[in-house]
Structure 1
């Protein structure tokens, strides 16, 4: 009786796939019907992980490492679909060829059976190409949707310090917003960025990731137009532009800004004054 491992992968972006339990049940039923021993110790699961990059799938890499052991611990790898194995043709061809040539292990899709004749090579290649196309096209559609949401002033990122997210909107956090205003006021009144960071540390103020503030964190706040009610994002094939920019400078290189739907914490005038001062300081350094 041949022995098999099961590889199961679910990703966050793919709505067409079965859950891990559903995939495993289908694989177990296939193994039983085809008189294959499915080894419980060799059920590999990558959950919430894209199939486009094998280097970021720990269970997959562990399965490959186990397959290379001598003697080989299993004869087959069972999948729900070939797309679970990889959505990148280069990775798929490399690992399938290596497994067959070096380990004598076949990769089988239980829902996409291939015949033993040579035409199966073409069919498998077509399935791999379709899987990669689906993955690339899905990524483009998601990016296009995010860009369109951004253009309409919607939020497409986690809330920065001073805001929280509620019902798809940035909402001001008063106890943080007062520190945002203090940071801008202090800088415009000649206090250095390291000194502002030191004051925040002494007061026990933390970033949104619960880390102590440093100069980099302070500088990020000083250069972020979100505090004027704007949103910014890098859009491919778009030059930097903003209603806050002047003939002398842009708010951020390679970034596009639009009017958001959230309330501002500081005025546009204060922000522009800050950018001018930041640029003067940068030229002197």
Structure 2
């Protein structure tokens, strides 16, 4: 019995809906019949929506599976519809499929339905056929990419790319619409805005018997993928890959209904910065890196003297000034200070003047940032002029010095522009009461360690402590001071 395999490849998702597979199958079966070859249906391998132009042969799973089956079953024959179904790169099919098979099956016969002769990579006709297939793909790719870029640049029509639908959405008339899982996404962002770690979020969801996007348990990476996806703020991103080295990206805001306000993204990014600067959030030392000795002006360190006796855990936590050689009970410090801090926050949240004073604070920073942007741009223009003069005089050493300064200024400019974007989000959060509403009735809430510490980092500048004098709480001018926009607002004059 002269058994043979058949290979069918859909090159795109559009071909799933048309009769491409049926045409290929019919032609392959007719060819097998004409050549008196036996082709059982189970010997026909179908590669689903896989490009033979952007993916080399060894990246096509079904083609590689076919190769292994042919070797295992000692069947040295396979029929392709045409050369373009083999390969559109002109060489990877030969390297990854043909030559490895030939080394195992010396009597290998690979056919296309438009030739009675077996495929031979050294044959001039076959070389030309593969080159034509490659050229056709390059032309189609260039035409499709250029057309897509033109549409996106003209903003003619915002259509979401054909990719996996994000968790929390469904597709309705090519638009993303929130589904029954939208509240889970919102809940995930809410938890992270209060400093809850991704591992803890996954644990909370699993404890509540809430299924992950694929139906199994939640993991840290699944939570991370949701938190990093800009689609939930209503943004649509198009990444157009012109070739392996060049990608053009387009961003459309308000392309669909958002599940979370962009302020949550800004808030979460700031929470990470606070944690990097002051230490972990889930620590029993709530005032870690916030207590300063009034005598030596050094930050107090921490000491965990907890112990276990007779199977019972006893917790002893202390803040220690090693320079002045005294320590304070962490529990007593917390009992004394936390109610005072919460009272301060609660008063701010209900005070009518808080909103206007916060806006005034942000306006001051906004004014300084704008001035600095103008100043940096002037310095860049000045450097560009000096660079031209240095180039005319052939002074390469001076050119390189100027380039170093230019790089630094461009980095500063990027930081200033980024700060402007963050500042705009903060303005909107204050105007919409999105920020201060988070702290209403704070004194009545039962907050965990992470939430409490995060609040302290936002509102407390430092705590002045002493072994003799009363403790003094120094509050920040504004909770938005923790965003360190004043760093970007400092003078850039040189």
TM-score, structure 2 as length reference: 0.44
Q: Indicate if the aligned counterparts of 1:229 and 1:265 stay in contact, CA closer than 8 A.
A: yes
Name 1:45's counterpart in structure 2: 45
The 1-side partners of 2:181 and 2:29 are apart by 53
**Residues 225-264 of structure 1 aligned to structure 2 (within 5 Å):** 225-235=230-240, 237=246, 257-264=251-258
**Residues 13-162 of structure 1 aligned to structure 2 (within 5 Å):** 13=12, 15=15, 19-33=20-34, 36-40=35-39, 43-48=43-48, 50=50, 51=52, 52-55=55-58, 56-57=61-62, 58-62=64-68, 64-65=70-71, 69=74, 73=75, 77-94=78-95, 95-96=97-98, 103-112=106-115, 121-138=123-140, 152-156=157-161, 157-162=163-168
The 2-side partners of 1:211 and 1:146 are apart by 37
The 2-side partners of 1:20 and 1:31 are apart by 16
Q: CA deviation at 1:271?
A: 2.5
The 1-side partners of 2:148 and 2:212 are apart by 25
Name 1:266's counterpart in structure 2: 260
- CA separation of 1:85/1:281 partners in 2, compared to 1, >3 Å: closer, same or farther? same
The 1-side partners of 2:93 and 2:264 are apart by 54
Q: CA deviation at 1:112?
A: 4.1
CA deviation vs aligned residue, 1:55-114 (integer Å, no higher than 9, x gap)? 3224531354158x4xxx55x544331223333422333454666686133433231466
Q: CA deviation at 1:131?
A: 1.8
3-state secondary structure, aligned to 1:211: coil
The 1-side partners of 2:147 and 2:204 are apart by 41
1:276 and 2:275 matched: no
Higher relative contact order (CA 8 A, sep 6+): 1
Q: Which residue, out of 163, 169, 172, partners 1:166? A: 172
- CA separation of 1:129/1:64 partners in 2, compared to 1, >3 Å: closer, same or farther? farther
CA deviation vs aligned residue, 1:207-265 (integer Å, no higher than 9, x gap)? 322232233333333333222211235455468xxxxxxxxxxxxxxx76321421112
Determine which structure has more spread, i.e. the larger CA radius of gyration.
Answer: 2
Name 1:242's counterpart in structure 2: none
- CA separation of 1:22/1:130 partners in 2, compared to 1, >3 Å: closer, same or farther? same
Q: Indicate if the aligned counterparts of 1:5 and 1:39 stay in contact, CA closer than 8 A.
A: yes
Q: Indicate if the aligned counterparts of 1:153 and 1:261 stay in contact, CA closer than 8 A.
A: yes
Residue ranges of structure 2 left out of the alignment (5+ in a row): 281-494
The 2-side partners of 1:190 and 1:77 are apart by 58
CA deviation vs aligned residue, 1:126-167 (integer Å, no higher than 9, x gap)? 101122333455556666677656975422232322222221
1:221 and 2:222 matched: no
Residue ranges of structure 1 left out of the alignment (5+ in a row): 240-254
Q: Indicate if the aligned counterparts of 2:10 and 2:20 stay in contact, CA closer than 8 A.
A: no
Name 1:187's counterpart in structure 2: 192
- CA separation of 1:18/1:268 partners in 2, compared to 1, >3 Å: closer, same or farther? closer
Q: Which has the higher helix share?
A: 2
CA RMSD of aligned residues (A): 3.9
Q: Indicate if the aligned counterparts of 1:155 and 1:169 stay in contact, CA closer than 8 A.
A: yes
Q: CA deviation at 1:125?
A: 0.6
The 2-side partners of 1:30 and 1:159 are apart by 40
